[in-house]
Amino acid sequence: MNTPEELGALVRATFVGETGEFRPCAVFDRALDCIRVITADTSVTEIRVNDLLTVLEDNYPNSNSRKYVGFTIKGARHFCQQRSFNLTIPIKLTELLDAILASTPDPFVRVVIDGIARPLVEEKKIEPVSLSGPVPRAA
């Protein structure tokens, strides 16, 4: 195994039929009560903005890619319940971002949401995310 191409070919051969191509997405992690929006299949560094919001920075950006490739909303289900979101239907991330903006006067949060989070959601056409279902309990 001498080249990255050979390693990639071996990994693809080993997991044939197991995985598909990466697609930008939003995923609700029930155990951690957070929504993760990920728009690139890359290694990231998490940069905490506040108690609710963290941005994901690409560790190896190139000139053709974005520096920020995602974000996390912590305490998402709890936040949505406090603001009377209907948890029985998928939540539009743009509406959730609007609620976050309305809940904090911090200008830095506005810069992150309007300059990073909202453009990622809109450009990558991130689908609404479902927060329904029971939250697992610790064993």
Could you report the per-residue pLDDT of 10-23, keeping only the tens digit for each? 766 666 665 678 89
| ∠ Cα 54 114 81 (to 5°) | 60
**Residue 63 predicted with pLDDT over 80:** yes
Tokens 């390693």: give the residue: 7
List the domain boundaries for the chain. 22-123
User: If you average pLDDT over residues 127-138, what whole number do you get?
Assistant: 74
- With bands split at pLDDT 50, 70 and 90, how would you rate the model's confidence at 99? very high
Q: What is the pTM of this model?
A: 0.81
Count of Cβ atoms closer than 10 Å to residue 40 Cβ: 18
| ∠ Cα 58 9 39 (to 5°) | 25
User: If you average pLDDT over residues 45-67, what whole number do you get?
Assistant: 94
pLDDT at site 132:
82
**Residue 137 predicted with pLDDT over 60:** no
pLDDT at site 11:
67
- With bands split at pLDDT 50, 70 and 90, how would you rate the model's confidence at 124? very high
